[in-house]
Amino acid sequence: MSQLQQRIEQVIRADVRQMHAYVVQPSAGMVKLDAMENPFRLPPELQRALGERLGAVAINRYPGERLDVLREALARHAGMPDGHALVLGNGSDELISMLAMACRQPGATVLAPVPGFVMYEMSAQLQGMPFVGVPLRPDTFELDERAMLAAIEQHRPALVYIAYPNNPTGNLFDDAVIERIVQAAPGLVVIDEAYQPFSSRSYIDRLARHEHVLLMRTLSKFGLAGVRLGYMMGRRELIEEIDKVRPPYNVSVLNCEAALFALEHDDEFARQARILRDERQRLIEALQALPGVRPYPSEANMVLVKVPDARRTYEGMKARKVLVKHMGGGSPLLANCLRLTVGSPEENDLMIAALRDSL
């Protein structure tokens, strides 16, 4: 064992050494449909306007009052209820980490349905908190209400995450079941609306009913994945406590100004979302016509699909320069499943052809 390896074992936590880093697939030269990104660039005139605006930003200064302007703009955009406040994060990932940090106490547990977003579990592990994953119902991927309520009663979690729609399954859970889970939760409930631009429903109209519910969104699916900006709304008193663990200056002046620009031109991003919702339906219908392929209903910009041999199909599509997400190695409920991002019409045509030829 080298001296460096000895030092690593001395100073790096054992559980961290056993973890796997989040892997981003190489995508150069590929049709990239593995990460639920918006495929559309800004029109040239908006690109020029954004470039001029970012060029005028005082990057020699730390972020300041413009973040207050952004918070106000996001609150208006989301329709945030009175008596609520909003905290910004460097993507939703940072907000999830902040929640785990703020809620870590002896015996505190994080609970979420599985399969779900991997960062719920990872953030708990990094804070030394037990994570309880409650399996969704097989085949339908609906919440198992009885199992969720039993797990809440047994573990008394400090945090319960409900993705709405869920990742990677793409479905919206039953609202009545969600409400009963919210009422049973002894700690905080986080409704994660990362895919809200593509969904037919939102929790925002119900947020004011429950003082212990937080609503989290991101601009990544809005069309700004490269900007890295998430936000979370909740009762003002609760947000003020969570804000105490936020790193100072966590959102850069460039991210802030790009987000403000996007909100000022939200009609363009709404137009893009309409195209993607239409393409989602077209993609599902095309997948239904392929023998041995089962697409699941989706309210996000992705479609989960079951195929006879997911590994073979994934490798075949990759060889044809189309990159999607192979769900193997995760939940057994996702055996032989691929997650397909809804792309542009041209990208979707290429994906359908590559899938058909790879079966």
Give the model's confidence band at 1: pLDDT under 50 very low, under 70 low, under 90 confident, else very high: confident
Superfamily of domain 3-44+267-358: Aspartate Aminotransferase, domain 1 (3.90.1150.10)
- Cis before residue 168, ω within 30 degrees of 0? yes
Q: 59-264 architecture in CATH? A: 3-Layer(aba) Sandwich (3.40)
**188-192 sheet: strands from edge to edge:** 84-89, 230-235, 213-218, 188-192, 159-163, 110-114, 131-135
170: closest CA among 301, 286, 307, 274? 301
How far is the C-alpha of 149 from the C-alpha of 178, rounded, in Å? Answer: 11
Q: Which residue has the tokens 């198992």?
A: 144
Q: Which residue has the tokens 């609970």?
A: 111
Give the model's confidence band at 23: pLDDT under 50 very low, under 70 low, under 90 confident, else very high: confident
Residue 84 · residue 234 · CB < 8 Å: yes
* CATH 3.40.640.10 segments of the chain: 59-264
- Cis before residue 115, ω within 30 degrees of 0? yes
pLDDT tens across 234-260, in order? 999 999 999 999 999 999 999 999 999
Quick one: average pLDDT of 190-198? 97
Residue 203 · residue 181 · CB < 8 Å: no
* CATH 3.90.1150.10 segments of the chain: 3-44+267-358
Which of these ranges, 12-16, 190-194, 255-259, 266-270, has the smallest mean pLDDT?
12-16
pTM of the model: 0.95
